[in-house]
Chain A
């Protein structure tokens, strides 16, 4: 079965420092991978996706993610964190068996302190 794992419940980073939110996946075949962000008391918002092509994917709000096939990872990154980046981040993978749905990870809380 397709799955993603977010090994860190919470990531703390100082404002201005680079941030990484980790995600590893387990799928059969080529993965379709996604990152979503949830701000407090809001629904999820799409950040970026990897379907094929360049391993470095750029998305909204200055975020990017690096697809690494050998390590089965899709880590979310940003060169310089902002306090306003504090939120809950979800990694997701397309369910290759059914094809029309996403499987989400448990989420990682990102806290950026000034």
Chain B
């Protein structure tokens, strides 16, 4: 089944404790992206990647890191999480940015 998977789906952590949210797709897509969804703000892009070893900042990259060492994986790293990073995070992939397939989401709470 073609899909984008994210892990974990739910995470509660404390300020400053480094964490990684994994994202994997099995559709051989070149384009991958991370978004955060906050009430009233819609989806805002954090980072995106056009291909392996090619990443670029989105609209809200501060406090986040990504890497694209393999085509299928695009992990999101929070080196020192803060409460304002409490949000619902989505990973997406696509042949291009046009039609993106979204993962199920990761709900992160930073205390």
Contact = CB atoms under 8 A, between A and B. Distances in A.
A43 B42 contact: no
Interface in A84-106: 90, 94, 98, 100-106
Chain B interface SS verdict (over half): strand
Interface stretch (B64-72, B73-81, B96-104): B96-104
A94 B97 contact: yes
Interface residues of A, number: 21
Interface stretch (A44-52, A64-72, A74-82): A44-52
Contacts of A34: 98
A44 B43 contact: yes
A104 B42 contact: yes
Contacts, number: 55
A49 B42 contact: no
Contacts of B97: 94, 100-102
Contacts of A103: 45, 59
Interface in A12-68: 32, 34, 41-46, 49, 51
B102 A45 contact: yes
Interface of B: 4, 31, 33, 35, 40-45, 48, 50, 56, 58-59, 90, 92, 96-105
Interface of A: 32, 34, 41-46, 49, 51, 90, 94, 98, 100-107
